[in-house]
Amino acid sequence: MTGILNGIDCEVWNPGTDPLINFQFGSPLGVFNFQVGKQKNKRELQRLLGLKITDKTPLLAFIGRLEPKQKGLDILYEAMEKLLPEKTFQFVLLGTGDPVWERQWGNETMKQWDNFRFICRFDEKLAHQIYAGADMILLPSKFEPCGLPQMIGMRYGTLPLVRRTGGLADTVKDNVNGFMFEEYSGEALADKIKEALEKCQMFRPGRIKCQMIENAMSRDFSWEASAQKYLELYKRAMALHNR
């Protein structure tokens, strides 16, 4: 058995040419370029969403379907209930889906936190702006056959924090191009978020963070790369058949 990952459209998801983001920025070959680009997009996103405009506070995000059986919404909510009151980061959630979870994320308890924004709609432009401006993208999935947000996030220099499952485990290497936790629990997710923020020192341009962003942005998740793997697999299969 051979597994081949999906790809992403690298023309649509290209921070260097993306018409939907406020400030285009290039590859990690120009460290100054991507640092400044991320910083400008983050400030603009904070302004757009009415968050405090600051470079010192990490901005975390979740983009996707509010699908309770797969996406880890229960442990994400549990972690945010614990961490948001500490006000050590900002958190943006963009998505629609299960009505119960739409109400849960929009309830009065969550609304009281000025470091949290829930945008309950599908908004392609805002999704691009979040990928460009956020520091981390969260994927605490219970299961995930492949997953695309972590690939898109890395393309935009937004480090993924994921649970070790399925395609997330195949694309993210802990402390190399993102962060990974094992146990499916709100406590494990909260602990990993705190560890990631501390280790990467994301409130200032730390050396570790820059290296991890370079590692992430240099990954090739294009459909061309996936297609090449299919070709190589077909060639191996033909060679075995012709023996």
Range of the domain at 226: 31-241
Per-residue pLDDT tens for 89-148?
999 999 999 999 999 999 999 999 999 999 999 999 999 999 999 999 999 999 999 899
Reported in sequence order, the residue ranges of the chain that DSSP labels E, i.e. its strands, are 59-63, 90-94, 116-119, 136-139, 159-163, 179-181
pTM confidence score: 0.90
Output Rg (C-alpha) for the chain, integer angstroms: 18
Question: Do 136 and 123 touch, CB atoms closer than 8 A?
Answer: no
User: Contact 130/92 with Cβ under 8 angstroms?
Assistant: yes
Strand partners, 93: 62, 118
Assess if residue 190 is contained within a domain. Answer: yes
In a domain, 5, yes or no: no
How far, in Å, CA of 129 to CA of 147, rounded?
19
| Strand ranges for 79-230 from DSSP E | 90-94, 116-119, 136-139, 159-163, 179-181
CATH number for the domain harbouring residue 107: 3.40.50.2000
- State how many domains the chain has: 1
What letter would DSSP give residue 29?
T
pLDDT of residue 193: 98
